[in-house]
Chain A
Amino acid sequence: MKKLAGLTVFLCVFTMLLVPVTVKAAEPYNLGVALGLTGAGALYSADGVEGIKLAVEEINAKGGFLGQHKVELFIRDSQTKPDVGVREVKDLILRDKIKAVINDYSSAVAMAVKPIAQEYKVLHIASISNSENITKINPSPYTFQVVPNSYMQGKASAVAVAKIANQKGWKEYITIASDYEWGRSTQDEVVKVLKALAPNLTLKKEFWPRLGEAQFTSYITGIMAMKPDFVFGILASNDNVAWMEQAKTYGFFDKIPYPGSLITVTELQLQAKTLPRNMIALTRAPFFAHMDIPMMADFVKNYRAKYNKYPSDWAVLCYDAVYTLKQGVEKAKSIDTEKVKDAMKGMTVDLTRGKLTFRTIDNQLSCSSYVGTITDDPRYPFPIYKDIVEVKGSESERPESEILEARKAK
């Protein structure tokens, strides 16, 4: 009898062992991407998506966030329009249950999306759009910016230009800036900084071509007729390409110094044959400035292997956006959005551009801007910057007191 009981117990235990154990898979991390894949932002956004896809592939190859939460990507086209951006992000939140969204090319879209992300408690990472108003005014604890903002870029550029203006004795200048949030806010900051650092300079005229302008001829001839000592350009993406191509055919750059223009790695590659050399320009995240950092060197290697080209600033920034999120999750030890949001406040992150810290006051990453001279380099099939001046975030950020004042005035 005892033997029978023992056999029964053995069989029961054996049978239990045979029952397949079902392990519940860890919850995936749904990551939304809403970038301007069409419209004025298409050129930069396409590269951004490539950077995001590569980062997600790398992270998922190691099991996902915290080694267990696979990252699932949901990519939408904001068409670089605020109403479309808001609609798409809402849909991502309600339908695809995203926990975070990387958005947008256009600052106007990012600012329209910011309150939506806050309302639905979704993390919002601005990786291309860089108006400082995204984080300065009406701050949201859910919105983080990993790109140098318009104030930082304007100041970095203006500092360099003011030095040159003082050296060369320039007296009058003209600005030409895209007529939308980023163009307006950057121009405003540049003018203020130039006034402070080069008080002898006079702003002769302001030109505001609309976003998406394809015909710059009248602006070019108009500016040339006014004969300023230099022109400060604040044009981006397709507008910048059109401007550069058309201005060049008028011999504009041979006649009028044009420092401080945003010429990113996209333009360096796209206009490799035609871009005027020795022009002093500005950019946000050039990979060649940080090839000494292992994360950047690996990223460039993997990006080239996957896409057969060098990464633009936008690919770098969007890649960094995903790794920022990863490190936020790791610090929080959870994918819970509230915990990640709290963990990211003031967090220091290891990115392709080095070890950088988010400012507590505005969730702006204290990252660098880069000013340099466009020059050919035998290592690359396009010109790069030489004599790079890396203006650190700490040197170009708006003082916290001014931010508090602006918020109070609002």
Chain B
Amino acid sequence: MDITSLFTQFLSGLTYGTILFLVAAGLSLIFGVMNILNFAHAALWLMGAYFSYTFWNLMQEHSFAFWLSIPLAGFAAAAVGWFLEVVLIKRIYKRELHEQLLITYSVALILSDTIKLTWGVTNKLIVRPEMIRKPVFIFGAPLDSYFIFVIIAGAAVAIGLWWFLKYTRYGHIVKAAVYSREMVAALGIPIPRIYTWVFTLGIFLAGFAGGIQAPIGSITLGMDNAIIIQAFCVVVIGGFGSLLGTLVGSLIVGEVMSFTILFWPEGAMVLIFVITAAILIVRPWGLFGTPMRT
């Protein structure tokens, strides 16, 4: 196996990790701040992919349709997320974790049926612009040219979230809420409103990630079933609520998957679950998470 082949596989893992990061970032943010384990996250990711298809379909005679449909998918999913938070999620903050899981799982099923009723059962395909239909070669390693955009988008989301959490007032409040929501509330900051916006932001990220996923293959019902498990693996490895942890966890899962497929194809998913289980036993709060929580 030559170095170019290994580099190709590294790039493949990097793109897969980036896709996982985009999905898991919102999941981690919502759990870290609100303590809500949102099982419906991937269903909203899938809804984002379908929204993206609809926007692209409506504007496809325009050259910008392909690119504009991706952020629009994020905003449309965010609107659904905001509605869900206000109507349902708000009422389950103080429930036990298993109850939250059951309720958000029910939401996932309802959303799946809503998708089926709205978009039908046939696959949806977004036709890419000519410029991103061919591979590009980086040091001789082929890469789907669209994945350059995916990697840039992933990096932009990571930097944007980091900047938001580190340099903005709202970011400081969100970070503080991860450690002690009672203290934040005692300072007169309206926690319910913060929660609503954090949830909406998390779902925006899910919808945006769905929009990015849409042109990679076809958009199909049930796509969300597998990715939610892998997204959970990412946040368990990285640590719930840790942006850096989510990024590192995504890259670990992506690269492990990619290289295991090359050398031990049967064991790709097994290895991910072994790593996840090991982290849960040795360091339950993940590589970059924190065991503190009040």
Q: Which A positions have Cβ atoms within 8 angstroms of B? A: 37-40, 42-43, 45-46, 205-208, 210, 212-222, 224-225, 238, 241-243, 245-246, 248-251, 270-271, 273-274
Contacts and interface: CB of A to CB of B under 8 A. Distances in A.
Nearest to B144: A249
A249 B218 contact: no
Contact of B16 (A37, A217, A243, A273): A217
Contact of B134 (A222, A238, A251): A251
A212 B135 CA distance: 25
Contacts of A43: 121-123, 220
Interface of B: 1, 5-6, 8-9, 11-13, 15-16, 19, 112, 116, 120-123, 125, 127-128, 132-135, 142-147, 213, 216-218, 220-223, 225-227, 257-258, 261-262, 265-266, 268-269
Contacts of A217: 12, 15-16, 144, 147, 258
Contact of A246 (B8, B145, B217, B258): B217
B258 A218 contact: yes
B122 A214 contact: no
A215 B142 contact: no
Contacts of B5: 221, 224-225
A46 B120 CA distance: 10
A218 B9 contact: yes
A207 B265 contact: yes
Nearest to B113: A38
Contacts of A212: 222-223, 225-226
Contact of A224 (B121, B132, B142): B142
A42 B121 contact: yes
Contact of B146 (A221, A222, A249): A249
25 contacts: A42-B221, A42-B222, A43-B123, A43-B220, A207-B261, A210-B226, A212-B222, A212-B225, A214-B223, A215-B16, A215-B19, A216-B217, A217-B15, A218-B13, A219-B265, A221-B12, A222-B265, A238-B123, A241-B123, A241-B218, A250-B143, A251-B134, A270-B122, A270-B218, A274-B127
Nearest to B257: A218
A221 B226 contact: no
Q: 10 smallest A-B Cβ distances: which pairs?
A: A225-B5, A242-B217, A42-B121, A249-B144, A218-B258, A238-B220, A221-B12, A241-B218, A222-B262, A218-B261
Contact of A221 (B9, B123, B127, B216): B9
Nearest to A42: B121
Given A42-B221, A238-B218, 20 more contacts: A42-B122, A42-B222, A46-B120, A210-B226, A214-B226, A216-B217, A218-B13, A218-B16, A221-B8, A222-B9, A222-B258, A224-B8, A224-B142, A238-B222, A245-B216, A250-B144, A270-B123, A270-B218, A271-B125, A274-B127
A206 B127 CA distance: 31
A37 to B, nearest CB: 6
A270 B135 CA distance: 22
B1 A37 contact: no
A167 B120 CA distance: 45
Contacts of A273: 127
A74 B13 CA distance: 46
Q: Say what secondary structure dominates the interface of chain A.
A: helix
Contacts of A274: 127, 133
Given A39-B222, A217-B15, A225-B8, A206 B142 contact: no
Nearest to A80: B222
A152 B218 CA distance: 29
Nearest to A220: B12
Contacts of A243: 217
Contacts of B268: 218
A57 to B, nearest CB: 21
Nearest to A238: B220
Contacts of A219: 261, 265
B265 A46 contact: no
Contact of B135 (A205, A210, A241, A251): A251
A209 B146 CA distance: 23
A207 B261 CA distance: 8
Contacts of B222: 38-40, 42, 212, 238
Nearest to B49: A214
Contacts of B218: 238, 241-242, 245, 270
A38 B46 CA distance: 14
Nearest to B124: A270
B251 to A, nearest CB: 13
Given A218-B257, A225-B1, A46 B223 contact: no
